[in-house]
């Protein structure tokens, strides 16, 4: 006895709500471009000016290497100090923000502190600290410490340390890398680091020196990325420096041995 086959659902069924959403987004993009005076003429003029600007960047000028090295060292010191302070301060803050460990009248105000620390860009916070403590690296350290508390403290408040230890190491190394990048930016507002040297070079229209500073910043970020990768390999994958060297020369990496689980 045969039964009638159930009708198949149309895989290409139109979703009018999705189409309406895309049309609304496209209309808003056109409206926003008109409000901000975005036009093809301005884009063409910008491309012409960019070609002239990049032509003045080359070749880079490394004659003032002493000033470069001093700025890079200060940026590195700001990033390391801010990351260390931020991670250690995040430990008690994350504990106080955990709802399964603390009463609500303790956890909710602490979570509000974490949310406030995550609300503003480090450059904006750096401006506030420059006004509070003056120009220099101290303002940069305080600004990036606050940013680290907002980022790492949220992980502590929502996770149990033994289960999220691998993610904890990953987030900490990411925060160090983020602080390394941001330490080159906060100097633009007077919070120390290579950013101040970069801003001064722009004001002098010393573009070949600007190119040298940018190259040094890229090199610093690449070194920081290598260090972060090495730290993650040690604490998460259980690798050693010899294992990393073998991997770079084409040999397979030796992962840490894990006990077999019973079926």
Q: All domains of the chain, ordered by start, with CATH? A: 16-57 (no CATH), 65-248 (1.10.3720.10)
Closest listed residue to residue 122, CA positions, set 89, 91, 79: 79
CA distance 178 to 122: 10
- 241 or 47, higher pLDDT: 47
The predicted-structure confidence for 67-122, as pLDDT tens digits, reads as follows 888 888 888 888 889 988 888 888 888 777 777 777 777 778 888 888 888 888 88
The predicted-structure confidence for 219-237, as pLDDT tens digits, reads as follows 888 887 777 777 777 666 6
Q: How many CB atoms lie within 10 A of CB 129?
A: 24
pLDDT for position 247: 57
pLDDT category of residue 165 using cuts at 50, 70 and 90: low
DSSP secondary structure string for all residues of 16-85: HHHHHHHHHHHHHHHHHHHHTT--HHHHHHHHHHHHHHHHHHPSP--TTHHHHHHHHHHHHHHHHHHHHH
Q: In the predicted model, what is the mean pLDDT of residues 196-206? A: 84
Q: What is the DSSP letter of 186?
A: G
Closest listed residue to residue 149, CA positions, set 184, 127, 128, 178: 178
Q: In the predicted model, what is the mean pLDDT of residues 18-39? A: 84
């Amino acid at each position: 006895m045969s039964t009638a086959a159930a009708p198949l659902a149309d895989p290409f069924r139109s979703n009018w709500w999705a189409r309406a959403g895309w049309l609304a987004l496209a209309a808003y993009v056109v409206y926003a471009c008109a409000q901000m005076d975005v036009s093809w003429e301005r884009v063409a003029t910008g491309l012409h000016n960019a070609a002239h600007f990049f032509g003045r960047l080359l070749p880079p000028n490394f004659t003032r290497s002493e000033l470069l090295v001093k700025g890079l060292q200060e940026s590195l010191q700001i990033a390391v100090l801010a990351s260390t302070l931020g991670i250690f301060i995040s430990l008690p803050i994350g504990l106080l923000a955990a709802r399964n460990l603390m009463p609500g009248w303790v956890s909710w105000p602490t979570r509000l502190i974490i949310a406030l620390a995550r609300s503003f860009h480090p450059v904006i916070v750096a401006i506030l600290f420059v006004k509070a403590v003056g120009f220099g690296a101290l303002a940069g350290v305080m600004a990036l410490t606050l940013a680290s508390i907002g980022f790492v403290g949220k992980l502590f408040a929502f996770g149990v340390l033994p289960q999220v230890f691998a993610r904890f190491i990953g987030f900490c190394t990411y925060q160090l890398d983020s602080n390394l990048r941001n330490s080159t930016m906060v100097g633009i507002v007077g919070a120390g680091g290579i950013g101040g040297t970069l801003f001064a070079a722009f004001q002098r229209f010393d573009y070949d020196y600007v190119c040298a500073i940018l190259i040094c910043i890229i090199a610093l970020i690449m070194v920081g990325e290598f260090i972060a990768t090495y730290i993650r390999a040690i604490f998460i994958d259980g690798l050693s420096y010899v294992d990393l060297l073998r991997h770079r020369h084409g040999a397979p990496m030796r992962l840490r041995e894990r006990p077999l689980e019973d079926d």
